[in-house]
Structure formats: structure tokens, C-alpha cells
Structure 1
Amino acid sequence: MQRYKTRYELKTEVKSLLQGNWTRAIQLYLIPVIVMILNINVNRSNSTDAMKDAIYNNGGAFSSLLSTGLISYIISLVVLLISLSSAFRGLDWIEDPQLDFQPIKSNFTYFRSPDWWKLILIYILVGIFTFLWTLLLVIPGIIKWLAYSQTYFIYKDLNDRGEADGLTLTDYITRSRQLMVGNKGRYFMMQLSFLGWWILGSITLGIGFIWIYPYYKLTMANFYRDLVDKNAVNNIG
């Protein structure tokens, strides 16, 4: 197995991609960023928790459904599809830096897909599993969140390559758990490396996220691509 790229290398590659492409990157993640800014400046109540979970793809669907109204939860699912659509296009961009795409239109890719409901069900399943592990203790919940973190990218990857036939929705979660064996610490440290940026974005009333969020999401896509390039688990039939 080859050496994984360091955080510095992964971030440097993303910065290189963003050079001269900031406008495109901002447009690609514009809608999720707008929701984040509204969340910070307009409504900090529990009614936005489900929406916040959808943006960060951190799970929590089950607990959010219990604590928020139906309308708020439906909105969170719409935001989820927008967020995943932009994240998936970001992965395409990482794989092909010369990719020609329409950034704003890319936010709505999965609204045109007949399989949009699968992403929602995966979100719910991840949320339920994470919630149940969190009931034991907070630490197991965090560990499972790390283990499940690549589920959506794996779903996209296998479906794009036509290798998803016969797979159940929980299979994508299992693939993520397998892929993250020995890599959860690396992913956790990658998340921590953005803590200062999140603080900066918050103290600027969310305005800073216009630039921070694309940098973060593309780095996470680059992390996944490096995992797959160095690990054959995602190719197991």
C-alpha cells in the first residue's frame, strides 16, 4: 500500500485547483453557504438543527426528526440534496481539474436523478446508526461518524462506475466503515485542522464561509480520492 498524502499535500492540491477558479468554486457551493449564513445570523434555535446536520453531512437525522417540526425536516432534506449535489460535483472536479461544468446548475443534479430518494434513506440510516451509538456514549458516536463519513462519496463512485448492482443502502455504509479502518484518526485530524477557519467564519457573521466552505469541501473530496487511490476496499465486489 502506498503512502497516504499528508494534510499539507491534500490542502496544497486544493489551493492549486482554486487558483483562478474561486468564482466557480463559490458558485458551486453558494446555496449551502447561504443556508449556513442564514443559520448563523437569522435563527439559532433548535428548528435549524436538522438543516445544519444536512449541510455538514454529520448524520443526526433521527434525533433531528424527534426534535423539530415536519416542515423543518423536509427543508433539511432539500438542503441535503443540494449539498450532496455540489459535493459530488466537487469530487468530479478534484478528479478532473479541467472539468467543464455549470456550478450553479450542479447544485440541483440529484433533483433530476430518479435515485434521489436513496440519498435521503442513506442519510436517515447513517443518522439512526450514529444516534444509536451515541446513546451508549458520545465517543462511540463520534467514532462511528468518522467511520461512516465516506458513505456518500462511495455511493456516487460505485454508481458512476456501474458497480452498484446488487448493493443495498447499508452496503455503502459498510464500505465506508471498511475504507476508514486505520484512517479515522487522519480524518479527525483533518477536521481539527479546519477549526480555526470555522471560528473565523463564525466571527465574520458567516461571510468568511463564502471562501472557507469551498476550500473545506474540496479538501474532503481530495481526502476521499486519496483513500480510494491507495486502498482497494472500494473495488471489492
Structure 2
Amino acid sequence: MKTRKQLKAEARELLAGNWLTAIKLNIVPVIFQVITGIIVAGVLAGLTYYFTKIGAELPGEFSAEAGTNGHASSGQSFIGNLITTYLLLSVDFALIDWVRTKTPTAEPFKKAFQTISGKYILPVFVLYVIQRVLLFLWTLLLVVPGIIKMFSYSQTYYIYKDVKEQGGDTDHSYFDYVTMSRQLMDGHKWELFVLRLSFLGWDILGVLTAGIGFIWITPYKQMTYMNYYVSLVGDRYHEWAND
């Protein structure tokens, strides 16, 4: 398995001279994430003000509204995360091909929406629901098991993409891809956690630049993560497709 330094260096090499293509590919999820972040910050600020200035005076009404808003927030979170998943997966699928072929996509804007229509829209939704349910059940035990399982299931969508493109998707259930991800990540969960944590400084920089920095940070991060997947999975997806 390649080191974090190697993964990042290779990501920068792939992006060198191709930043415009990478930005075009990533710009939609970047904008969506920035807007979502602004909305969330605004809602939190509003709730904080309400709780400290008004809620204290109207405890009964506040409690009733809090319960209603809790259900609404859960629904918004589900939908918001689903949309983010579709957008990021469109980018990630294109980047996986980019890493393997060493050639950037010729249609970045088209690829940026590839999971929202056609062959991926239903499978991604089903896999998303399965993972949400499983993670919820694990989180009922404790938060830590839920986080561990989140990393266990993190490669599910990418495995599905690879197996489908090999024509082996009809031989597997959707739960099989979750199992494949869990098997693939056995002994590698901490490794991926540290890799993601290593971008914390970049994320802080992105926030400090009012989201502008993410125009360059997000392509770099996602290219590194997809390089990690390609390096980790190797040729195993061929075996899964032929099982």
C-alpha cells in the first residue's frame, strides 16, 4: 500500500497542467457544499439566538417547536446528504478513471452529473439508504462503533462502479457491495482516517477563505482519496465481478 506522501504526490502530478479540468469537474459540489455550509451556519446562529433570547421565556412553545424542527432537520439532513453524495460520486467516479488511465476526462461538466441520471441514480440511492440504516443501527450501540463502520463502508459505491463496469453487478445484491467494502477496509480503517485527517489544515484554510480555497482544495482531496481507493483495491474488483 502506498504511503500518504506518495498518494498526495501522485495526486498533484495528475492535477499538474489539468487544474482547469479538475475545477470544472468539482465546481458543482464545491458550490453546493459552500452554500450548504452558509445555510447551516445561519440556522445554527438563528437557533442559538432563539434559544438564548426567546426560548428561555417560552419553554413550552420552544419545546414543541424543537420537536417539530428535529423531524424537519432529520429530513433535510437526509436529502441534503443524498444530494451531496450524488454530486461527489459523479466526481469520484470520473477521478477513478483519471487515476487509472492517467488521462483527465474530456467532458468534465457532463461527468459532474453522471450519477444523477442513467445507470447510477437508483443503485446509488439504494446503497445510500442501506448504509444510512446500518450506520444508524451501529450508532445506537455507541458513537465509536458507528464511526468505525462508516470507514468500513466507505468504499461501497466505488466497488459498485467497478463491478458494474465489468458486467458483474447482476450477480450481486446491494448488500454484497457493503460486505466487499468491509472486507476491503479490514486493517485499513485507521489508515484512511489518518489520510482524511491530514487534510484538516487545508479544510481550515478553505473556511478562512470564505470557501474560495475549496475550488483547489476539493480536487486535490478527492484525487488523493480516489488514488487511495485505486491503490487499495488493485485488481480485486475483477474477481468480485466474476464471482
- Report the counterpart of residue 62 of structure 1 in structure 2: none
* Same amino acid, percent of matched pairs: 40
Count how many residue pairs are aligned between Structure 1 and Structure 2.
215
Which residue does the alignment assign to 2:117? 112
Q: Is the 8 A contact 1:17 1:97 kept in 2?
A: yes
Counterpart amino acid of residue 211 in structure 1: W
Larger Rg computed on CA atoms:
2
Match in the other structure for 2:219: 214
Normalising by structure 2, report the TM-score.
0.81
Structure 2 residue corresponding to 1:83, chosen from 64, 74, 88 = 88
Name 1:98's counterpart in structure 2: 103
Name the CA distance, whole Å, in 2 between partners of 1:40 and 1:183.
30
The 1-side partners of 2:143 and 2:207 are apart by 25
* Cα offset, 1:21, TM superposition: 0.7
Give the whole-Å Cα distance in 1 for the aligned partners of 2:169 and 2:156: 13
Within 5 A, what are the aligned runs for 1:120-159? Answer: 120-159=125-164
Q: Is there any run of 5+ residues in structure 1 with no aligned partner, and where?
A: 47-64
Which SS does the other structure have where 1:110 is aligned?
coil
Deviation at 1:69, TM superposition (A): 6.7
Amino acid at match of 1:17: L
Query: Closer, same or farther in 2 for the Cα pair 1:170/1:97, shift >3 Å?
Result: same
Matches within 5 A, 1:29-44: 29-44=26-41
Equivalent AA in structure 1 for residue 157 of structure 2: Y
Q: Is 1:235 paired with 2:239? A: yes
Q: Name the one with the larger helix percent.
A: 2
Give how far 1:164 is off.
1.6
Query: Pick from 203, 225, 229: which aligns with 1:198?
Result: 203
Say what the alpha-carbon RMSD is for the aligned residues. Answer: 2.1
Structure 2 residues not aligned, in runs of 5+: 45-69
User: 1: distance between equivalents of 2:14 and 2:237?
Assistant: 27
C-alpha deviation, 1:128, in angstroms: 1.1
The answer as to whether partners of 1:194 and 1:216 remain within 8 angstroms in 2 is yes
Contact map agreement 1:150 1:224 (CA 8 A) in 2:
yes
Could you tell me which residue of structure 2 aligns to residue 17 of structure 1? Answer: 14
Distance 2:191 2:80 in 1: 32
Identify the residue that residue 49 of structure 1 maps to in structure 2.
none
Q: 1:118 to 1:232 in 2, by over 3 A?
A: closer
Structure 1 stretch displaced more, 201-210 or 151-160 = 201-210
- Please say if residues 163 and 237 of structure 2, whose CA atoms lie closer than 8 Å, have aligned partners that are also in contact: no
Aligned equivalents of 2:217, 2:230: Cα separation in 1: 20
**Separation in 1 of the partners of 2:150 and 2:84?**
20
Compared with structure 1, are the counterparts of its residues 71 and 147 closer, same or farther at alpha carbon in structure 2 (3 Å cutoff)? Answer: closer
Deviating more after overlay: 136-145 vs 73-82: 73-82
